[in-house]
Amino acid sequence: MKKLLLLAGLLLAGTVAQAQSSAEVQALTRRLNELARDPDEPATEIRATLSNCHFTEVIRKYRTAGSGESGNFQVSHQKNGADWAVKSDDKVEFELRLGVEWSQVTSLTYVPAHNDKKDRHYYEIKIKRQPPGKSDSTTLEMPVYTTDEAVVRDLVQRLEKVRRSCGAKG
């Protein structure tokens, strides 16, 4: 009986921890997406998705009145834990989708950035990926429109926690 209660307690604790972790990932995703929205570029959207130990960043530029017509196209590639896709359609002028498995991410950092045209400061989160057995690496960059370094540091620490929970390198 004691073993059964102990087992039930462990299962319940695991379920609660998993639900809490899922809620934390959802909250982190919402916050990233709030801060990735450039208020000066309403036709452009940057969205992050964190799911199944995979990070995806989508950059979309929506068609605006007078932006002209272009043909529909779609190109995508998926290999060795990374993926990318580019497309266009009637509503979206341009969409770029970049994805990476957390297990291949070797570092998460942030750097100050500056838009010279608008004389505005913000930060960029940098996600460095190195596939197993390869010497080359790629870096995804995600803008975070805030001047508060503490906010960005917290986001990177929370992303690092997600990365480590997925059995990441380093």
Q: What is the Cα–Cα distance from 28 to 117, expressed in whole angstroms?
A: 30
Nearest to 97 by CA among 49, 166, 154: 49
Any idea what the Cα angle at residue 156 is, between residues 151 and 161, rounded to 5°?
125
Whether pLDDT at 53 is above 60 = yes
Mean of the per-residue pLDDT values of the chain: 81
Write down the domain spans for the chain.
Answer: 21-165
pTM, entire model = 0.76
pLDDT confidence tier of residue 42, bands split at 50, 70 and 90 = confident
pLDDT recorded at residue 125: 96
**Percent of the chain whose pLDDT exceeds 70:** 81
Q: What is the Cα–Cα distance from 55 to 104, expressed in whole angstroms?
A: 11
pLDDT confidence tier of residue 170, bands split at 50, 70 and 90 = low
pLDDT confidence tier of residue 6, bands split at 50, 70 and 90 = very low
Which of 23-37, 50-64, 147-161 has the least mean pLDDT?
A: 50-64
End-to-end CA distance of the chain: 42
Nearest to 32 by CA among 50, 48, 53: 48
Whether pLDDT at 12 is above 60 = no
Top pLDDT among 3 and 117 is at: 117
| Structure tokens belonging to residue 97 | 């989708």
Whether pLDDT at 113 is above 80 = yes
